Amino acid sequence: MPSALSQPDLLGTECLSRDDISAILDLAGHYAQRNRSAQKSCDRLAGKIIVNMFFEDSTRTRTSFEVAAKRLGAQVVNFSASISSMNKGETFSDTMRVIESMQVDGIVMRHRTNGAPVEAAALLDIPVLNAGDGSREHPTQALLDALTMVRHKGHLGGLKVAICGDIEHSRVARSNAFLLNKFGAEVRFFAPPQFIPRDISSLNVRQCSSMEEVLQDADVAMMLRIQNERLSEGEFSMTVEDYHEQYGLNHDKLRVANPEVIVMHPAPMNRGVEITNELADDPRHSVIFEQMEMGVAVRMACLDLLVGSDSKEL
């Protein structure tokens, strides 16, 4: 079935056109409103089966994709990598073909290997939605971040977006940079020297050398956690206290930002490390739990546009 987007899969924001991003955000805005009403569910995906294939840990994304699919009337099967036949030597491509041969309608995949969803999409005729692959891309996170920014700021163009923390290993930072650049936002990065991405020059971002510089007049401050699961033992030796002091966000450091700055975090948060407790819970700035709410709406829009049939009423 042809997708309502210009491509059959959702693999990253780098390869997503502005028109496709706008179509997703428009529909997600509709679902966000609907999700706060009494009539949350609809039958856009009635009769469809979505398989969640998570080869890496997840709380929000997996649950959020499942809630999204169910709100649209789909059934969801959760594939469990840890008890699958991959442990008996089955290859990744055979496992993917097995799932597709069951005539399911879409696959949501998280994988620790960069490019795994791209490989799956090349093999399969059904839509593949990337729920985060290694340190490469996390498109639905960037889309839900964009929706949250638009709700608070009205637009993306011209926004000054500060992204701080372990950028080298962050698929969230990359997907945000690709998306925000397409809409004319100014993306700034600040990271400990060892977490500056090697390909930073190709990302079209401003590299800052202090918290003060990255936060100056910022409209958005996005904090990232250290991706310990992607580091080898002893690779990062800074103490929590030193890290917090130099790279963590608190009310005091935020003073140089736009007074209306919003504070974001893709979560899981390490409170007291990259962000203080007080700031994470400050309703004047923090939109962190709203991001999670927008995650369901964005994933509903992505599933609808990629898996849904145009013949059904919204």
Active site residues: 60-61, 88, 110, 138
Cβ neighbours for 35, distance < 8 A, ≥ 6 positions apart: 71, 293, 296, 297, 300
245 contacts: CB under 8 Å, gap ≥ 6: none
Among 44, 111, 138, 244, indicate the residue that binds ligand ASP (CB under 6 A): 138
Query: Do 221 and 215 touch, CB atoms closer than 8 A?
Result: yes
For ligand ASP, the binding residue among 5, 147, 172, 294 (CB under 6 A) is: 172
Tell me if 225 contacts ligand ASP by CB under 6 A: yes
CB 153, CB 146: distance < 8 Å: no
**Pick from 46, 98, 132, 122: which is nearest to 307 by CA?**
46
Shortest spacing between CB 203 and ligand ASP, in angstroms: 17
CB of 87 to ligand ASP, least distance (A): 23
Q: Which residue's beta carbon is nearest to the bound ligand ASP?
A: 266
Whole-angstrom Cα distance, residue 1 to residue 5?
12
Instruction: Please tell me whether residue 132 binds ligand ASP under the rule CB under 6 A.
Output: yes
Q: How far apart are CA 211 and CA 227, in angstroms?
A: 20
Q: Which of 111, 171, 188, 285 binds ligand ASP (CB under 6 A)?
A: 171
How many other β-carbons are positioned within 10 Å of the β-carbon of residue 154? 9
Binding residues for ligand ASP, total number by CB under 6 A: 7
Q: For ligand ASP, which residue of 266, 285, 304, 306 counts as binding (CB under 6 A)?
A: 266
Closest CA to 176 of 29, 164, 259: 164
Q: Least Å distance between CB 53 and ligand ASP?
A: 15
Mapped to the 3 state alphabet, what secondary structure does 243-258 carry? HHHHHCECCCHHHHCC
Considering only CA atoms, which of 274, 169, 284 is closest in space to residue 230? 169
Residues 20-49 that bind ligand ASP (CB under 6 A): none
Interacting residues with ligand ASP between 45 and 104 (CB under 6 A): none
By beta-carbon proximity to ligand ASP, the closer residue of 266 and 308 is 266
Q: Where along the sequence are the contacts to ligand ASP (CB under 6 A)?
A: 132, 138, 171-172, 225, 266-267
